[in-house]
Structure formats: C-alpha cells, structure tokens
Amino acid sequence: MKKIKLLLVDDEKAFLDTITKRLEKREVTVSAVYSGKDALVELENNKTIEAVVLDVKMPGMDGIQTLVEIKKEFPLVEVIMLTGHATVETAIDGMKMGAFDYLMKPCDIDVLVSKVEAAVEKKRQHEEKITEARIREITERRV
Amino acid sequence: MGESLNERKAFYQELTRKIRILIIIVSFFPMILTTGTLFYRFNLTYTDKIQAHISELVQKHTQNIDTFLLEKLGNIRFVARYFDTIQQTPTEFLQQHLAVLKSEYGDVFTDLGLVNSTGIQFAYEGPFKFENADYSKAEWFVKAKDKPFYISDVFAGLRGHPHFIIAVKVGSNGTDYTLRSTINFGSFNSLVGNIHIGETGIAFIINGKGQLQTKTDVGLHPPIIASMLGLSSDNKNKTVFAKKQDASGNRYLCVISKLKNIDWLMVFRQDIDDAFHDLWKTQMLTLVILVFGCMAILFVAFTLPRNIVTLISSADKKSDVMNKQVIESGKLATIGELAAGIAHEINNPVAIMVEEAGWIEDLLEEEDLNGAENLDEFIRALHQINTQGKRCKEITHKLLSFARKTDSTINDVQINDAVREIVSLTAQMARYNNVAIETKLTQGIPYIRISPSELQQVILNLINNAIDAMEKSGGTIQIETNISKIEKNHLVISIEDNGPGIPKDNLDRIFDPFFTTKAVGKGTGLGLSICYGIIQKMKGKIDVYSQVGIGTKFRIWIPFQEALTEMTDNDTDYHTTDKENRYEEN
C-alpha cells in the first residue's frame, strides 16, 4: 500500500507532536497544524493529503466549522473527528457533516491507525471510481 | 433564622387580625343596618295598626251605646205621648205601657213612674213600692225640671243599688208631669263590659265628673280617672290616645271617646305590655336572631382567618421547600458544569501522557535493550500507564455524561427515530462484541414531550449493559416500541437480550445507586440509577424481568398526550406495519 499522507489538526501541541512521531513510526506521512485555519492552508498547499484527523474543540475555528470548510473545498478528503468529550450529539453532528468516523481522546494508536487506513482506503476507492468514470467518458467520447 | 421565623409569625398574626376586622365590619354593618331599619319600620307600622284597631273598636262601641240610649229615650218619649188622664187612671196607663215595653225589650226597663211638679211620684208601676215617693230633692228631678227630657248619671238612689233614670216631661190638662223610667243597670253594663281585648283590655264609662258609670273588675284610682277627663277632645267623632303609667309603674294604653247624647266618656284601657304583646314577641325574635347572627359572625371571624392563615402558612412552607429544591437542583447543575469543565481539562493531559507512554513503548522496540535488566519492568510500567490512562478516560467520560444530564431541553420526540439513531450509534460496538440488534418499531406512535438527550442516555445505557452482559457469548438484543396496552396513554419501549440474565438476589437492587456486579474500576453502579431517575422525571415507569440463562427484559413506559395522537394518526396506520431492521453481525 502506498504510504498514507495524513494531516493532524489539534491545538494541543504536546499531544500533536507525540502522536505525529508515533504515526510516522507506523509508515504514515504526517503534517501537523495547530488550528483549523492552518489546516485549510495546508490542504491547499499539499494536495497529496488523503485524510485529516480533526480535534473537535479548538480555539477560533472549531472542529465542526473546519470540517464543513474542508468538505466544501476538498470533498474527497476523508475526515476523522477526534473528540475530548463523549457527547453523542457532537459525534452525530460530525457524521452528518460528512465525517468518516469519530474517536475519543485518548485513543489507542492502533485503533487510530486502522481508522485512518479505512478512511484512506475509502478515499482511494472513490478516486479510482472517478478516474474510471472519466476514462469511460473520454473513451465513449472518442467512439 | 429564628428572627425571620418570629417576623413571619408576627406577619401571620397581623394578617389574621386584619381578616378578622374586615369580616366583622363587612358582616356586622349591613346586618345591624338591615335589622335596625326593619325593626324600626315594623314597630312603627304595627303600632299604628294596633292603635287604629283599638280606636275603631272603641268608636263602634261608643256608637252602640249612643244608639242604645237614644232608643230607650225614644221609647219613653213615645210612651209619654199617650199619657191621658181622662181615659185611664195613671196607674192603669203605667201598667199597660210597662207590660208593652217589657214584652218588646225584655228586662231593660225596670219600672215606670209619674212624678208631679212638686216631686211626688203619684203613680208607679214596678217591682218596688215607690208610690208617693218624694223626688223633689233628687238630683235628677232638679235637673230634669227645665228640660223636655233627661238622662241621669248612674246613682244608688232610694233602692240602694246603681241605676239610672230617663225622665221625660209630659203635659196633660195644663199640668206638667214627669214620666220617669229606670233602666236595668245590668243590661246596660253588659254592653260595655263585653268589650275585651287581650288579657287586660277593658272598657268603662265615666261621667263628666269622673264618676264610674259602669262596673269594672279592675280597681281604678279616682285620680287616674280624673286625669282621663282632661284628655277628652271636643271633636265628638274622634278618639283620643294616651299612654300612661299608674302608681305601681304599670304602663297602659288609654283610649277615650265621647258619647254624643250625654256628657259621658267611653274609656278603653289596656296594659301596653298586653296590647303590644305580639309586636314585642316579634321584636324579641328579631333580637334573638340578631344575637345569634352576631355570634355566628364572631365565630366565623375568629375561626376562618385562623384557618386561612394556616393554609397560607403551609403554602408558604411548601414554596420554601420548593425554593430550596430549586436551589438544590441549581447547585447540582453548577456542580455538573464544573465537573464537565474539569473532566474536559483533565482529558487532554491524560491523552498526552498516554501518548507519551506509547511513544516510549515504540522507542523501546527500536533500542537494543535486550540485555537490559529491567526491560520487562519498563514494558509492564508503560502498560500500566496506558491502562490507568484509559481508566481516567472512562471516569472523565462518565463525568461528562453526568453533566450532560442537566441538559434537559424538552422537545417533541418521535420514539422510533430516537431508537433508530441510538441503534446506529451502538451498532459498531455491538458488532465488535458479536451482538446483533433487532428493532421492531410500531408505526404511528404519538410524539412524546421529553428531553431527547435524556432518553438517549437511558436507552444507550440499557443497550450498553446488554452488550456488556453478552460480551463473551454474543447474542441478540431486541428493541420494541409500541403503544401500551396496560397503561392508558403510555407508550412502551422494551429492550430484551438473550444473555445470562440477572440472579434473583440482584434483581431488587439493580436500580440502587452504586450497585454494580462489574469488576472494580469497570462500572460505577450509577447507570441504571440515573436511568430510573430520568424515567421518574418523565412521569414514566421502568421495570425489569429476568431469568438466569434465558435473558433480561427491560420495559419503559412513557406517557404521551392524547392531542398529539391525532397528528400522527393521519399519515400512518399503526396496527399493521411492523418494520424490522436487522443489523447483522459481520
């Protein structure tokens, strides 16, 4: 499998740094940013990012707002919500907005990795289908 | 506290006093006014009536006596016309006419006599032997001398018992004679004596000098009679009324009427007590009623305010308790918010700690530490950090969900949607544990007004418990919604699993707070207790049925309003469609 390119968004620097190191050890390319705004900028600059792990509670632009923006600008990028509270409502809201799944902090690194992998898998399948559709379109046009 | 209690007591006393005074004023004033007015008017009217009645009676009798005297006088004058000394002797004449009078009028005329101008009765007919009696000195003779006729006062005279005389002048052969007749006193007396009203009402006649002309049973003092003389009016048709008091202090009523043909007065006398007896009886009754009314008002004025104030004070106490409860629940809410804040703040550092421990674990794998003495201990310690971190996470999550309980905004909730939502949330976890969740949702169940997040909490709790119970074996959870057939206007949600069941000994205690069968650190024992509290708050019911080895069934009843039923009746038909959703295990 191609190396996963992941964007981590969390305002808690210590948490983010450690988890970045741990994920990189597990063959994931990680970019880390500390706010929703930076996340959008990073996504704009680095089109190869396939999935985002997004903290719900952040100062300024919060997780849900960021999620909405990401889904608007980069619809193919899958988002996993990371929440500090067990509020079902927030999770449901996130799912409604198009998040792939949600996780509660602190989470097991292996669970996180498997979720990310599933998300990326979905994204790649999506892209494949889109590519196929395009090819078909092009070939049909030729005929 | 004691001071405010005293203040309140004083306030209640003041309130009692005010209500009491108000009742007394508002009740007494109209009652006394009404009773007083009625009393006065009735008194006036009734007195007039009595006086009019007595007056009429007296007048009638006066007329009767007048008529009687006039008639007797007429009789004698008639007899006098036939006096003729030529045809008969005077004695024969008297004999003949007395016989006629007696046969016509009975015993009214006692005797007849003829008196010459010198006062010698030369002829007499009657029961006595008064021939040649000398009347020249008699008062009646002196008075009758100059008049054509005369009616005397009552006097004893020669015969020694009271009588009166009618004298008429007759002329025969140029000589004047006087024809006199004695009227039977008894028959005259009975005319007056028959007048009786009440117990003390009597009538009598007095002459111009105040001498009694009739017999009376009651002793009358001459001064009293004399005082009556002064009252006689000049108007002959009118009666005179007077209220007097005798020597012994008896008050009496006096009615005087003048006779037309003679200087006599008809006097009616009755004790005031007797005359107004009925009136006074009525007045007494009124007074008694008034007194009883006043007593009743006083009774009410003293008991009612006390009762009202007791009610008010108990209501005050209740509202005090309510206020305390409100404050208490407010406090709880604050604590909840605080707990949520703390939980959230702790969560992040714990997450970092767990991640750092994980990072060390990762690094240990890389390092060549195989020879290190304490490698196993390092790994064990890191695992422990991980485990305890997770435990912290669980606690903070519990705290957060406890805090969320205070978020109880009420909404109209369609129970089926709520169940579906929760099932979709738990499906993942169920899948991990080899548990299938089946739902059997009856369509057309009315909306209920509850807090959706609270209901979610309850159902989620029950589902989680079921999943936990079947962790090892796997199984099926069946969730059913329906309109209750047992409880009117309730819907029922049942959550049934085919897990190991709950032993009988525990069944009674599962809703108790802090009761748990889970391992230490796994469960708080609060889940079902919180559920119970929430359902109670919704005015619903929760019960449990369990058999070891077969499974456990929880049922929740929640009331709905009748009005909301119709809303949903229109678009769904709720008897036939039993929709089944099955979340199969992977």
Residues A89-115 pLDDT 10s: 677 788 888 888 888 877 788 889 999
Average the pLDDT over each of A93-107, B281-295, B398-412 and give the range with the smallest value: B398-412
Could you tell me if residue B269 is inside a domain? no
What is the arithmetic mean of pLDDT over B277-306?
A: 88
Find, in chain B, the residue whose alpha carbon is nearest to that of A55.
Answer: B348
What ipTM score was computed for the predicted complex, to two decimals? 0.78
- Domain check: are B372 and B459 in the same one? no
Same domain, B428 and B492: yes
- pLDDT digit string, tens, across residues B457-498: 788 888 888 888 888 788 899 999 998 888 788 899 999 998
The answer to whether the CB atoms of A85 and B352 lie below 8 A apart is no
Q: Of B134, B159, B187, which residue is a domain's last?
A: B187
- At residue A92, the pLDDT reads 77
Complete domains list, chain A, with CATH: 4-142 (3.40.50.2300)
Same-domain check for residues B335 and B482: no
Q: Is B276 within a domain?
A: no
Q: Report the pLDDT averaged over residues B168-189.
A: 80
- Is B55 within a domain? no
Q: Assess whether B416 and B321 both reside in one domain.
A: no
Q: How many Cβ atoms from other residues are within 10 Å of residue B441's Cβ? A: 22
B378 and B507 inside one domain:
no
Instruction: Look up the pTM and report it.
Output: 0.45
Q: Are residues B491 and B579 in the same domain?
A: yes
Residue B563: pLDDT over 70: no
Characterize B112-150 residue by residue with b for buried, 16 or more Cβ atoms within 10 angstroms of its Cβ, and e for exposed: bbbbbeebebebbbbeeebeebebeebebbeebeeeebb
Res. B337: pLDDT tops 80: no
Determine how β-strand B264-271 pairs with β-strand B251-258: antiparallel
- Asked if residue B547 and residue B412 are part of one domain, the reply reads yes
Please check whether residue B453 touches A, CB under 8 A. Answer: yes
Q: Which residue of B has its CA nearest to A107?
A: B351
Owning domain of residue B360: 312-383
Tell me if B339 is assigned to some domain. yes
What are the pLDDT digits (tens) for B502-524? 888 888 888 876 677 877 656 66
Q: State the pLDDT at residue A7.
A: 93
> Do B536 and B423 share a domain, yes or no?
yes
Going from the C-alpha of B437 to that of each of B149, B462, B551, B556, the distances in angstroms are: 142, 12, 14, 18
Residues in chain A with CB shorter than 8 Å from the CB of B358 are 18, 22, 109
Asked if residue B141 is part of any domain, the answer here is yes
Whether B377 and B415 map to the same domain: the answer is: no
B337 — contact with chain A (CB < 8 Å)? no
Query: Does residue B579 fall inside a structural domain?
Result: yes
| Chain B partners within 8 Å of A107 (Cβ) | 351
Residue B323 domain flag: yes
Q: Do B421 and A109 touch (CB under 8 A)?
A: no
A100 Cα to chain B: minimum distance (Å): 13
Burial B264-297 (b: 16+ CB within 10 A, else e): bbbbbbbbbeebbeebeeeeeebeeebeeebeeb
- Does an H or E element contain B564, and which? helix B562-569
Total domain count, chain B: 3
Q: Please report, for the domain that includes residue B111, its CATH number.
A: 3.30.450.20
For residue B580, the model assigns a pLDDT of 41
Burial group, residue B466, by CB count within 10 angstroms (0-12, 13-18, 19+): buried
Q: Which residues of A touch B (CB under 8 A)?
A: 12, 14-15, 18-19, 21-22, 25, 57, 84-89, 91-92, 104-107, 109
Select from A90, A89, A87, A50 the least CA-distant residue to A70: A50
User: Any idea what the CATH number is for the domain that residue B515 is in?
Assistant: 3.30.565.10
B420 touches chain A (CB under 8 A): no
| Cβ–Cβ contact B339 with A under 8 A | no
Last residue of a domain, one of B187, B221, B250: B187
Residue B235: the pLDDT is 53
DSSP-assigned states of every residue in A44-56: HH-TT--EEEEES
Nearest CA distance, A137 vs chain B (angstrom): 36
Q: How far is CA B38 from CA B45, B131, B276, in A?
A: 10, 69, 17
B464, B538 Cβ separation under 8 angstroms: no
DSSP B153: P
For residue A85, the distance in angstroms to the closest alpha carbon of chain B comes to 6
Probe site for chain B from A109, A112, A113 (most B CB atoms < 10 A): A109
Q: How many CB atoms lie within 10 A of CB B33?
A: 10
Please give the structure tokens belonging to residue B37.
């007015």
Residue numbers in B near A104 (CB within 8 A): 393, 397
Which of B164, B187, B210 terminates a domain? The answer is: B187
Nearest to A88 among B352, B356, B425 (CB): B425
- Subunit contact A84:B347, Cβ cutoff 8 A: yes
Tell me what pLDDT residue B574 has.
Answer: 41
| Span B519-562, pLDDT tens digits | 765 666 667 877 887 888 888 888 899 988 888 999 999 988 76
**H or E segment and range at residue B436:** strand B435-442
B345 and B416 assigned to the same domain = no
Mutate to test the interface with B, among A15, A95, A110 (most CBs of B within 10 A): A15
Q: Is residue B298 part of a domain?
A: no
Of B565 and B446, more confident: B446
Closest-CA distance, A136 to chain B, in angstroms, reads 34
- Whether cis (ω within 30° of 0) applies to the bond prior to B30 is no
Are both B331 and B443 inside the same structural domain? no
Chain A within 8 Å of B526 (Cβ-Cβ)? no
Pairwise CA distance, residues B143 & B164, whole Å: 14
Together in a domain, B333 and B440: no
**Nearest-CA distance A50 → chain B (Å):** 23
The mean pLDDT of B132-156, rounded to a whole number, is 82
